[in-house]
Amino acid sequence: MRLEIAGVSHSYGDLRTLDSLSVAGEDHGVLGLVGPSGCGKSTLLELICGLQEPDAGTVSVGDAEDAEGRLARCAFMPQRDLLLPWYSAIDNAALALRNQGMGRREARAAAAGLFERFGLAGFERARPDELSGGMRQRVAFLRTLIAGKPVLALDEPFAALDAITRAEMQEWLAAALRTDPRTVVLVTHDVEEALYLCDRVAVLSTRPGRIVAELTAPHPRAPERDAVVTDPEFVAVREEAMRALRKGSR
Amino acid sequence: MRRWLLPLGLIALLIGAWQVAASTGAIADALSLEDFLVPSPAEIAEALWESRDLLAENAWVTLREILLGILCALAVGIGFAIAMHRSQLLRDASYPLIVASQAIPIVVIAPILTIWFGFGMGPKIVIIALICFFPITVNALDGLRSVDPETVKMMRSLNASRWQRFWRVEAPTALPSLFTGIKIAVVVAPIAAVFAEWAGADAGLGRLIQSDLANYQVARQFAAVAVLAAMALLLIGLTALAERRVVTWR
């Protein structure tokens, strides 16, 4: 599903977060939004998901321009996993199905297959506090995926993880998107993560956020992450992104 | 083990000291009182045993008042907290009123309610409910308001209706706080019951304490107070037990 953000401005009271920003995402493509902390990239994600409305400009997801239509087309994965502690892992993952009116047994059965596929088998009944950080994040991603929406909006999904787990989770997400391609918007402050996981990466300036560069990733979601991130072509694009990020931060 | 032994040890120590001080007449001498006005724990225990039927009969009356009063406070308090959580207008309008309800001195309002509603159960239940209403409502409301706004966004994005958001997120989030309110309510309820009975009653521990006071039956008065304290302990124990069964994720 195509995403089109055209001339969007947004502010919280007197604080201007986005300034006539335009960017587009291809159908079944992964669009990265990279920028310094507080540049409004999370706000942009919430605008896409229909959780907020812009002050000016248009945000369209497929043929929907209104907030309700965007909300129906996007599944939002917040920065923290926000698993509900009173539900088991599988009930957390199946939350969207339950919200759609599916019975508990059916919803669990539908989620169970994915637990197997995403390396969570055996942890269906576990409470969130019994899971490791990486597993919690995987359950949160499953919860987003199971909603069955055409667009996935991920807000710094791996920011809270340690470096090793984060690299593992990036490879895991790349594999998940190779087998089940979706239109994805990924917000991160990690340039390397963005260039590994995304097809195209938009670099945002400091607040009020606008696009300072748009880059095409050389080997999006390739199976061998370590080989990709040390590849000279990848390193060159990464340096270009870093330069744009530094320029935009001034 | 330690949780039980420590308070029991302390209580035994205090009772022992009291026994020595009272049976040697030390307290009565220090206060220049007749000995019978300062009963020893042994004498109180004797009064407790001798008047066991009378105490049990009156305790049952008071316990029923307390339970019904708390139930009313729970129904009204939770209902009010939900309504105030839903409507900013109602919250702003009624918060001062709820605080004011707590400032009403029961000793003043109890006789008026007795004149209005007579000597039966009714006014006692109203008074106990009035006292218990405040901690229950305020804690339930605080609990509901402590919901993480990010979780609400996540739930909205997963197609949750308002009711689904309430039952799957807001209500479980508010439960621990609600139990805190109930614990406060159950320990103040016996005090409220005594005041309510003093304003006019034909049965109950408060009424018994009042008539024993007039007849200098000091030992039995202390026995009635001990029963009342045991009642508060029982209620808080049951509340804690219910909390452990319901709030399993903490």
Statement to judge: residues A169 and A238 lie in one domain: yes
A15 and A67 inside one domain: yes
B153 part of contact set with chain A, CB < 8 Å: yes
CATH code for the domain of A225:
3.40.50.300
Four-point Cα dihedral A75, A80, A86, A88, nearest 10: 70
Q: How many CB pairs under 8 A join A and B?
A: 57
- DSSP helix, strand, coil percent of chain B (3-state; round to 5): 85, 0, 15
Position B82 scores a pLDDT of 94
Q: Could you state, in chain order, the average pLDDT of each consecutive group of 10 residues for chain B (250 residues)?
A: 86 91 85 83 90 93 95 96 93 88 83 86 90 93 93 92 93 95 94 89 88 87 93 94 91
| Residues B129 and B217 occupy one common structural domain | yes
| Distance, CA of A196 to CA of A186 (rounded, Å) | 11
Would you tell me the crossing angle of helices B121-145 and B52-86 to the nearest 10 degrees?
40
Q: Which of B59, B33, B67 lies closest to B220, judged by CA?
A: B59
C-alpha A197/C-alpha A31 separation (Å) is 9
Quickly state the pLDDT bin for A75 (edges 50, 70, 90): very high
Confidence class of residue A113 from pLDDT cuts 50, 70 and 90? Answer: confident
Q: Which chain A residue has its CA at the smallest distance from B158's CA?
A: A96
Indicate if the pLDDT at residue A249 is higher than 80.
no
ipTM of the complex: 0.86
What residues does A188 pair with on adjacent strands?
A34
| Residue B12, H or E segment | helix B2-23
Q: What's the pLDDT at A73?
A: 92
Is A77 in a helix, a strand, or coil?
strand
What is the pLDDT at residue B32? 84
pLDDT band at A19 (very low <50, low <70, confident <90, very high): confident
Owning domain of residue A35 = 3-83+149-249
Residue B103: the pLDDT is: 83
Question: What is chain B's alpha carbon radius of gyration, rounded to the nearest angstrom?
Answer: 22
B59 and B156 in a common domain? yes
Q: Which of A:149-188 have CB within 8 Å of B?
A: 153
* Number of separate domains in chain A: 2
Residue with tokens 């039952």: B167
> Average pLDDT in the A7-11 region?
88
pLDDT-derived band at A227 (thresholds 50, 70, 90) equals confident
Contact B197, B124 (CB under 8 A): yes
| A55 in the same domain as A170 | yes
User: Is A244 within a domain?
Assistant: yes
In chain B, the residue whose alpha carbon lies closest to the alpha carbon of A46 is: B153
- A93 at B interface, C-beta within 8 A: no
Overall domain count for chain B = 2
As a whole number of angstroms, the distance between CA A119 and CA A145 comes to: 15
* Per-residue pLDDT tens over the stretch A90-111: 999 999 999 998 999 999 998 9
Residues B28 and B85 in one domain: no
CATH code for the domain in which residue B187 is found: 1.10.3720.10
The answer to whether A58 and A22 are in contact (CB under 8 A) is: no
Give the 3-state secondary structure of residue A192: helix
Please tell me the predicted confidence (pLDDT) of residue A49: 92
Helices (H), chain A: 41-48, 67-73, 89-93, 95-99, 104-117, 133-146, 163-179, 191-197, 225-229, 232-249
Q: Quick check: is A153 in a domain?
A: yes
pLDDT grade, residue A159 (50/70/90)?
confident
Contacts of A72 in chain B (CB under 8 A): 159
The backbone torsions φ and ψ at residue A22, rounded to the nearest 5 degrees and listed phi first, read -130, 135
What percent of chain A shows pLDDT beyond 90?
31
Place of tokens 């994600």: A45
Q: Note down the domain range covering B69.
A: 40-246
* pLDDT the model gives residue A225: 85
In the DSSP assignment, the letter for residue A94 is: T
**Is A168 in a helix, a strand, or coil?**
helix
Q: For A152, which residue in chain B has the nearest alpha carbon?
A: B157
Q: What is the largest CA-CA distance in chain A?
A: 54
pLDDT in tens, A173-211: 898 888 888 899 999 988 999 999 999 999 988 888 888
Q: Rounded distance, CA A85 to CA B21, Å? A: 53
Residue A243 shares a structural domain with residue A164: yes
pLDDT at residue B185, as a whole number: 94
Residues of B in contact with A86 (CB under 8 A): 172, 248-249
- In this structure, the answer to whether residues B31 and B55 fall within a common structural domain is no
Eight-state DSSP code of residue A64: B
Q: Is the pLDDT of residue A38 over 80?
A: no
A80 at the B interface (CB within 8 A)?
Answer: yes
